[in-house]
Amino acid sequence: MKRTLLALTCGLAVNWAMAADYHAGDLHISNPHARATVPGQTTGAVYFTIENTGKTGDKLLGITTSASQSAELHNMQMDGDIMRMREVGALELPPAVVIEMLPADGYHIMLIGLKKPLMAGQKIPLTLRFEKAGKVAIEAAVDKR
Ligand SMILES: [Cu+2]
């Protein structure tokens, strides 16, 4: 019993430390995180989960950050047997959609022209611009590689 309680407490502590949740109108953005980069690496990637809990659609139009010269929304898809990444102008967020950005598949935010390496433990400020919800400031936690 004691053991179970301890495990539970640890689990809660971890969740609490990782919980970065943002609400903007009907949009819910959770767990923004980035991968640590090595010196000399000029690009980085940020991932988060975005949910539209409302009854009307919205659109992610753009991203800015002080961590890099620019930030683009990318989509990764298989093209035959080659994984290709391309820039997407805007991310459609229809009602009830949940989009989970993942390192190996689908969408991510590409940071282009990193000013400094992304180091584990840092927080990267980003501003997301939505068609209806407007500007939303978030911070992405840098994970270990
Ligand atoms: Cu990319």
Q: Measure 24 CA to ligand 1 centroid, in angstroms.
A: 25
Q: Measure 94 CA to ligand 1 centroid, in angstroms.
A: 23
d(CA 71, CA 93): 19
**Tokens, residue 46:** 């940020």
CB under 8 Å to 4, separation ≥6 — which residues? none
pLDDT tens per residue across all 145 residues of the chain: 445 444 444 444 444 445 589 999 999 999 999 999 999 999 999 999 999 999 999 999 999 999 999 999 999 988 899 889 999 999 999 999 999 998 888 999 999 999 999 999 999 999 999 999 999 999 999 998 7
The domains found in the chain, sorted by start residue, are 21-143 (2.60.40.1890)
Q: Measure 57 CA to ligand 1 centroid, in angstroms.
A: 25
CB atoms within 10 A of CB 128: 27
Q: Measure 63 CA to ligand 1 centroid, in angstroms.
A: 13
pLDDT of amino acid 10:
46
Q: Measure 1 CA to ligand 1 centroid, in angstroms.
A: 46
Q: Measure 13 CA to ligand 1 centroid, in angstroms.
A: 32
Helix (H) or strand (E) holding 10: helix 2-18
- Do 63 and 128 contact (CB within 8 A), yes or no? yes
Q: Does pTM top 0.95 for this prediction?
A: no
pLDDT of amino acid 8:
47
pLDDT of amino acid 56:
96
d(CA 12, CA 23): 21
Q: Measure 133 CA to ligand 1 centroid, in angstroms.
A: 24
